Structures are given as C-alpha cells and as structure tokens.
Amino acid sequence: MQIWPGRPYPLGATYDGAGTNFALFSEVAERVELCLIDADGTEQRLDLPEMDGFVWHAYLPAVQPGQRYGYRVHGPFHPESGARCQPEKLLLDPYAKAIEGQVDGDESLFSYHFDRPGEVNDDDSLGHTMLSVVVNPYFDWGNDRRPGHEYHESVIYEAHVKGLTMLHPDVPEEIRGTYAAMAHPAVIDHLVSLGVTAVELMPVHQFVQDTHLVDKGLTNYWGYNTIGFFAPHNAYSSTGQQGQQVQEFKSMVRALHEANIEVILDVVYNHTAEGNHMGPTLCFRGIDNQAYYRLVDEDKKHYFDTTGTGNSLLMRSPHVLQLIMDSLRYWVTEMHVDGFRFDLAATLARQFHEVDRLSAFFDLVQQDPIVSQVKLIAEPWDVGDGGYQVGGFPPLWTEWNGRYRDTVRDFWRGEPKTLGEFASRISGSSDLYAHSGRKPIASINFITAHDGFTMRDLVSYNDKHNDANGEGGADGESHNRSWNCGVEGETEDAEIVALRARQHRNLLTTLLMSQGVPMILHGDELGRTQRGNNNVYCQDNELSWVDWDLSAPQRELLEFSRRVVALRREEPAFQRRRFFAGEAGHGGESEVGDIEWFSNEGHEMTDADWGDASNRTVMVFLNGEAIPEPDRRGERITGDSFLVLYNPWHETVEFTLPEKAYGDDWRPRLDTADDQVGIISIFTEESAFSPGAKLPVASRSVLVLARGPLGDK
C-alpha cells in the first residue's frame, strides 16, 4: 500500500475524494502504527512516517470511506509517572467521525488482569474494542437553513432519541429509536403542534456501555459516557452500516430545520468513558494519558475527578482545548447543529482546582467566530469543591437554573417562606444574572429534566423508587421537593387523581408564564411516568421510553400543554429580553410600571407581605405596553397586559383585582382549575371583570387574566 507523508492538520481521518489523510497527536509516543482492519477482522499495521509538532501523520491514496481503523501507540508504560502507552491495546482515533461496534468487557481491554491486578496485562484488545471508521463528508444539505430562534422566543424540549421514538405507533418499527425516527413526520408533527422551537438531544456523541451495567442486564441509557466527540452514536442508526450514522444524523437535522426546529446537543466534554485507573484503555489513556487527563499531582497513577465518573479532562492542556473546540466547530459547520448544553460545565472552567469563569476554555469560546454564535447552555455545577456555579458563568452563556427548579417545586408543594424567591424566579432571576450584564434569557427555566422525577411523578411520589436499578436505593436524589398529593404512587382515588392533574397544569403554566427560556422534559406534556424511578440512567426499556398510548386525561393534558405554549408564544409580556425596571412609562407610554405585585386583597405587596411566612398567594401584573426592547425591525413591541393569580393554598382564596389604572376590563385566558374531571372552572373566555372585582381562585391553581374588552382576542 502506498503511504505518502500527508499533513498534520486536520487531525483525524480526512477523506478528500481520492484518499485519506490520517493525523494523530501524541507527545509521549515513540512510534505510532495505523492499523487498517478488514471486514473479517484481519489487521494491517502501517507505521506513520512523519511527525510534526507531536502530530503523527500519513496520507493513504487507496483508503476510501467505510475503512475501519485504529492506532497502536508505542511509548513508556509507567503509571506512577502518568504514562500508560500499551501498543497491545488497539485505540480509537479521538477525532473519529464514526465508530463501529461496542466494547465487550473482555479482560484484554484493561491494563491489568482481573485476578492479578498487580500484573500488567499485555493481551491484544483487537476484536473486543470499538473501531474508528473513515467517513464520506459529502452530503446534500439542499436549502437547509438554521431557524435562528432568539432565546426569548424559544421553548426547548429535552428529548432522548430512543426514548422519545421507541414506542411511537406511527413510526415504522424498523426505524424506531433512531435518528431516522426523530426525523419521521409523526414525531416532527408532534413537536410542531406542541410549539417547541428546539429539541435538546441527550448525548448523541458515541458512548460506551459500562461493563458493570451490562453484567447486570442493564445499559447506559442516558449516554453520559462519551468516547467519541465527533462521532454520532452508532446504536441510533437505523441502517447498521458502517459510517452511515453520519448521513442519517444529518438527514435528521435537515428535517427538523425544515420544520423550523433547532437541534441542540447535550455534550459531555468533562470526562471520558475510560474512567479511573481501573478502567479500560480505549483511546486517550493509551495515546497520551498525561496530556488528556487531570492526574493527582503527588500521585500520577490516579486521576483527579470532579465529575464523579472516575476522570476529568485536563482543561489547561492546549490539546484538550483544541479537541473540544474542533469538536464544537465540527458539529456546527459539518452537522449543522444549533447549540450545545454542556454537562457538568463547572469542570470545563477548572484550569487548576478552582472554578474560574475567566478560564482558557471560556476565552476560546468567546473569541471563536463559529462557536460563539450558537446557543451555549451550561449545567452550572459539578461534584468538586465550589462546583455549584448557578449565576457564575460569563455573559455569552445561558444556564440551567437549578434554583428556579427548586423554588417552583417548593412553592407548589406548599413550603412556607418561598413567596419572595418564587417572585424572583418567575420574573427572570435578576439576582443571579443582572450583576454580570446578562438578561432574563440567561435563565433556562426547568422544573423537570432527565435526571429526576418526571412531572407526573413529581406530583405522585414523595420518595424515589429505584429498585430496578439494582443499587439498593443508593442512587438518585433523595430530596426531590415532590408531593404525592396524599397517596404514594398510582391510585384510583378520583380526588387525588384530579389534584395531581391540576398540580401538573400548575407546574406547566408557571414554567411557560415565567421570564427566561422554558425547557420541557419529553413526555411531560403527555403525563409520562417512570413509576417513581428518579434515575433511569440504566433503564433502556418501557420504564423510561415515552408511551404514546394516551388515556383521555393524557390527551386533555396534551391539549392544555399546546394551549399554554401558544399563549406564551403569542404574548410579548411573557418573552421579555430585559429585566423589569418597575418604573412607570419605562420603555413605553404606560402610566404604570412594567411589573407590579399585589396581594390577594388587591393592594401592592409590602415588605411585611413578602416577609409573612404564612402568606402563600400572590398576583402579578405584567404590562404589555411597557416593553423596552424593539423588535428586529426596530419597531416598538406591545401586546396584552396580564394579571397572573397564583394560589398554592389548599383552600379557595378570594382575589380582588387592582385599581382602574392597571386595566378597565379583564378576561380569563387560562385557568388550571378547569380540569375536566374535577372542579370545573367558573371562568369562561366570555367572562369579563372590572377593577375591584372579587374572584374566587380555586385551591392550588393559577388564573391568567388578559387586559382588554371582550372581542380583542
């Protein structure tokens, strides 16, 4: 086979239409072999002849897309000093665009023998590990266009490729659970009808199935165990053909874009699937362990772990930073994704030990002309010291607002002394973001996510029920801020069923009526349950998949969800891009402020009202005529003004509407007490109420009133 010198950049395997350039970074390597693997497993080893700047490279004219390959890196094996080169281990390309197969847990994958851990294991791992695949980069994107939704207009839908589609009856069985299923009209029609503007896909980077889970008959369902930062996960491909997952992923993105839906990826750049010193040698460990991982300074045999997974990537290494930035740019430019949610993002800010918002990673993102222009969402915590960083990320970033989640849960389960913080959270969390020049859109508001209870389970269980995970209940969050409404788990008690349904509507309404960017967990609009399991990371089965066989109450919930999302979409008052100022005439010509808080008696809230631990109810006025920001054409934004009445109390509370200055007439737009199976709302859209009117707001409900005479809407 002809071997030409090739080029050191770009890293990875790059097909140009005639042949393939291979380039691999390793500073510690003394010799690197490129291994070409035939379909029958036959291996051909070729020494990479050139090395520039610690990048080993070659060009092979004969190599075409579909070629399987790996690397064997020759160099020192001194774990005590951090070096772990073992040429007996066939290694993945860190820049592989596609990966074939899965690891099988064989002893050859490890640097030690299971029964003799002190003895070095030099068994060959070929046949037991995953293989890199050369891909064809060419794809007909047609007229693909990024939707480009502004944050304030966005409604994000967190979804799992397999979990969302595996049971959908209108998706052909042979493609369920795949990228092709996500692109199927039945799935896209559901997303469009719900009104979401973006899907945030749980990890689709190639991940590894943990041996200890497979041994128990379980799998890594969530996928937070990445090994390939450029490769779409191969198990989500409907064809099973090597390298075709790339084309199928692109087709999915194109289909979602055609429906005006953005694609955001949940990415895991904080650690890899190789784990700690007892983990397998699959890629980075054998290529250049010290360059890729954070090691314990005084004991380089062990890994410094702020992720709880066994290792952390070395964020002060220029090669790690290059890997991450190259990966991000690849997914934007070649795969056309619209943004990223960064798992355990505080770890990315740890150049040394502390979390530093001025770290090199943030600097690189800030100045990058491609990555800086897409949606960047941080999970602003990790498990290390000082890792909880809600409100601590730089201005370019948005954050999962964990304090929003906790406060809204507490408010609706009836916890005292939550009213003041509840008001801060639903008005945009200025206390968290204004100090850094950020705006309400910095807050990704969520009440439920993949990690924890579904919304239905949040109102049905006080405790987690994770027996199926086989960990004796030790896994999963124990403090869920949930309330079962009187009975643990499923029940046929009509009153409790009706109360749970109302609480579900209360949570959805609060989420969509809050300032910031709402995120809905897939299936919450359908009443999906995990039967009390709040940690289904290993449950790739019907416990975690969305069940599309809907009961009548579930169909009603879906219609309610569509209605409340539509209300948010139609009304600028719920989509502010700037924090409230509270001043009359601010941003418009209104004689009253842009926001006002009232007690249920109709007077403005006082410090005493806010400080009263027994006070649970509140009424908020949102002025649609006092929105300071112009639209994209520079025209002034106006819309309806609203009163939103929150009553989490267990009894009906009478609310008195405020004085005439805030509005002459008020009409109902949404009432969560209208539950179709329990207490029917006394309000209809034909009703109209004047200033000073006394309205009985049902227990544990939200009433949304719009200003203006009948016939306006």
Query: What is the pLDDT at residue 711?
Result: 43
**pLDDT (tens digit, 9 = 90+) per residue, 54-69?**
999 999 999 999 999 9
Query: What are 609-630's pLDDT values in tens digits?
Result: 999 988 999 999 999 988 887 8
Supply the pLDDT for residue 200: 98
Strand partners, 206: 228
Confidence of residue 241 (pLDDT cuts 50, 70, 90): confident
Q: How many other C-beta atoms are found inside a 10 Å radius of the C-beta of residue 176?
A: 19
State the pLDDT at residue 588: 53
Q: How confident is the model at residue 590 (pLDDT cuts 50, 70, 90)?
A: low
Q: Which of 45, 39, 49 lies closest to 70 in space, CA to CA? A: 45
Given a cut of 60, is residue 679 above it in pLDDT? no
Mean pLDDT of the region 295-319: 93
- Model confidence at 394, pLDDT cuts 50, 70, 90, reads confident
Q: Is it the case that residue 397 has pLDDT exceeding 50?
A: yes
**Of 584, 609, 590, 608, nearest to 598 (Cα)?**
609
347 — pLDDT class (breaks 50, 70, 90)? confident
Using 50, 70 and 90 to split pLDDT, how confident is the model at 219? very high
All residues at 6 or more sequence positions from 500 whose CB lies less than 8 Å from its CB, including other chains? 456, 459, 460, 485
Annotated catalytic residue 379? yes
pTM to 2 decimal places: 0.96
| List of E strands, 283-422 | 295-296, 299-303, 339-342, 375-378, 398-400
CA angle 227, 233, 234 (to 5 degrees): 115
How far the first Cα of the chain sits from its last, in Å, is 73
**584: confidence class by pLDDT, cuts 50, 70, 90:** low
Which residues make Cβ contacts (< 8 Å) with residue 340, sequence separation at least 6?
A: 264, 265, 266, 267, 328, 331, 374, 375, 376, 377
> How does pLDDT run across 154-180, given as a tens digit for each residue?
999 999 999 999 999 999 999 999 999
Condensed to tens digits (0 to 9), the pLDDT of residues 478-506 reads: 999 999 999 999 999 999 999 999 999 99
3-state SS record for 610-651: HHCCCCCCEEEEECCCCCCCECCCCCECCCCCEEEEEECCCC
Catalytic residue among 93, 248, 262, 343: 343
* 671: pLDDT strictly greater than 50: yes
- Look up 153 and say whether it is catalytic: no
Could you tell me the pLDDT band of residue 357, with boundaries at 50, 70 and 90? low
Count of C-beta atoms within a 10 Å radius of residue 552: 9
Above pLDDT 90, what percent of the chain?
85
Rounded mean pLDDT of 300-326? 94
At 348, is the pLDDT very low, low, confident or very high (cuts 50, 70, 90)?
Answer: confident
212 has pLDDT over 50: yes
Q: How far is CA 559 from the centre of its chain?
A: 25
* pLDDT tens-digit map of 407-465: 999 999 999 999 999 999 999 999 999 999 999 999 999 999 999 999 999 999 999 99
pLDDT tens-digit map of 144-159: 999 999 999 999 999 9
Task: Determine what percent of the chain is predicted with pLDDT higher than 70.
Answer: 96
User: In angstroms, how far is CA 424 from the centroid of its own chain?
Assistant: 23
Mean pLDDT of 297-319: 93
3-state class (DSSP) for residue 250: helix
Is 675's pLDDT higher than 70? no
Say which range, 274-288, 480-494, 698-712, has the weakest mean pLDDT: 698-712
- Candidates 348, 236, 370, 291; CA nearest to 94 is 291
Question: Cα 647–194–529 angle (5° rounding)?
Answer: 65
Q: How confident is the model at residue 710 (pLDDT cuts 50, 70, 90)?
A: very low
Q: Which of 379, 382, 524, 556 is catalytic?
A: 379
The tokens for 653 are: 């509370």
Q: What per-residue confidence (pLDDT) applies to 680?
A: 59
525-545 pLDDT tens trace: 999 999 999 999 999 999 999
**Average pLDDT over every residue of 627-644:** 86
Phi/psi for 667 (5° steps) reads -125, 145
Give which of 418, 446, 406 is closest to 617, Cα–Cα: 418
Quote the pLDDT of residue 6.
Answer: 97
Q: Give the list of residues 6+ apart from residue 669 with CB closer than 8 angstroms, or none.
A: 567, 642, 685, 704, 705, 706, 713
Distance of CA 314 to the CA centre of its chain: 23
Q: Is 156 helix (H, G, I), strand (E, B) or coil?
A: strand
Please check the confidence at residue 262 and state whether its pLDDT lies above 60. yes
What is the band of 695 on the pLDDT scale with cuts at 50, 70, 90?
very high
Q: What length does the chain have?
A: 713
Q: What is the mean pLDDT of residues 305-320?
A: 92
